[in-house]
């Protein structure tokens, strides 16, 4: 009985720790917000160094940490199946690149093969907008 109780207590603690952290406040997207990849073109075959240019209309770019309505910074999702969760900062790893300096282009160094690219605008705290401002996903082929 005692062992059962300890086990049950541990299970409750583990469930509490593993539950997603509380959702952060989300900023409203502008109604006409649109983010898109200017280049490369969808389906393009490119070299290993790929210049990606980010397009945005209906909202503005501001560095991370700057709170201003209808502004945010770009995040480039590389080989990511679904947009990051609402109410959480966008992950920061090799598949989720942050451009918190307000950059509107970058050069990626990709392994040969097929890759997908998608942009998502995040707010001052790297949290997606409501509704999410994400681009169409493109596929590129790296030689
Ligand atoms: Cu960010």
Residues 78-106 pLDDT 10s: 999 999 999 999 999 999 999 999 999 99
Domain annotation covers residue 5: no
Number of folded domains that form the chain: 1
**CB contact at 8 A, 77 and 65:** no
Domain annotation covers residue 63: yes
Domain annotation covers residue 14: no
Domain annotation covers residue 120: yes
CATH of the domain at 121: 2.60.40.10
Distance from residue 9's CA to the centre of ligand 1 (Å) = 37
Domain annotation covers residue 39: yes
The model's confidence at residue 28, banded by pLDDT at 50, 70 and 90, is very high
Q: What is the pTM assigned to this prediction?
A: 0.85
Domain that holds residue 64: 25-142
Distance from residue 99's CA to the centre of ligand 1 (Å) = 6
Distance from residue 106's CA to the centre of ligand 1 (Å) = 14
Residue 142 has pLDDT above 70, yes or no: yes
| One-character DSSP codes across 5-68 | HHHHHHHHHHHHHHSPPPPPP-PBPPTT-EEEEEESPTT-EE-SEEEEEEEEESSEE--TT---
Q: Which residues contact 100 (CB under 8 A, 6 or more apart)?
A: 63, 64, 65, 73, 126
Domain annotation covers residue 115: yes
Domain annotation covers residue 8: no
Distance from residue 7's CA to the centre of ligand 1 (Å) = 39
């Amino acid at each position: 009985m005692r062992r059962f109780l300890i086990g049950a207590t541990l299970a409750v603690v583990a469930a509490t720790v593993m539950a997603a952290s509380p959702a952060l406040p989300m900023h409203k997207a502008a109604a006409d917000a649109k983010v898109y990849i200017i280049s490369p073109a969808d389906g393009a075959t490119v070299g290993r160094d790929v210049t990606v240019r980010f397009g945005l209309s209906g909202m503005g770019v501001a560095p991370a940490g700057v709170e201003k309505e209808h502004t945010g910074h770009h995040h480039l999702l590389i080989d990511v199946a679904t947009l990051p969760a609402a109410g959480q900062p966008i992950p920061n790893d090799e598949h989720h690149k942050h451009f918190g300096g307000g950059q509107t282009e970058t050069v990626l160094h990709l392994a040969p093969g097929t890759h997908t690219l998608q942009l998502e605008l995040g707010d001052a705290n790297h949290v997606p907008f409501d509704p999410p401002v994400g681009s169409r996903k493109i596929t590129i082929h790296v030689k």
